[in-house]
Structure 1
Amino acid sequence: MKSLYDVQQLLKRFGIIVYLGKRLYDIEMMKIELERLYQNGLLGREDYLQAELILRREHRLERQKEDE
């Protein structure tokens, strides 16, 4: 897993499709859904941590774009 697209595909495997209309909001909602999957034992620790890092990076990049 290397990109936001990969995280989307991971969530899609569980029937979760996130689209709120703004990329920043999408990333935040994906993070919430990812946490729920992990807390309920549906997602392994390795996948969770990797996806979490990707979402953090994408969130940071998106915030930087907005600030410019």
Structure 2
Amino acid sequence: MNSIADVRKWLMQFRLVVYTKDKSVDLDLMEEEVREAHETGLMEKKLFQQALLVIRREKGKLEER
């Protein structure tokens, strides 16, 4: 998983679309969904770590603005 688009595609497998018109809130919701997927065993550890890294990188970009 290398981009936020990859995270969105992964979530789409489960018919989960995150869009609130506020990118910061979108990222928070995506992080929450990814954490829940990992906790329930739907996402393996390595993929989980990659997804979190991508989400945190995007959050960092938003904070720089």
TM-score (norm 2): 0.94
Could you tell me which amino acid in structure 2 is paired with residue 43 of structure 1? Answer: M
Percent identical pairs in the alignment equals 29
Structure 1 equivalent of residue 41 of structure 2: 41
CA separation in 2, counterparts of 1:33 and 1:26?
11
CA separation in 2, counterparts of 1:47 and 1:13?
14
Aligned length: 65
CA separation in 1, counterparts of 2:14 and 2:46?
17
CA separation in 1, counterparts of 2:12 and 2:44?
16
RMSD: 0.7
Structure 1, unaligned stretches of length 5 or more?
none
Structure exhibiting the larger radius of gyration computed from Cα positions:
1
CA separation in 2, counterparts of 1:63 and 1:20?
18
Q: Moved runs in structure 1, 4+ residues, more than 6 A?
A: none
Could you tell me which amino acid in structure 1 is paired with residue 10 of structure 2? Answer: L
TM-score (norm 1): 0.91
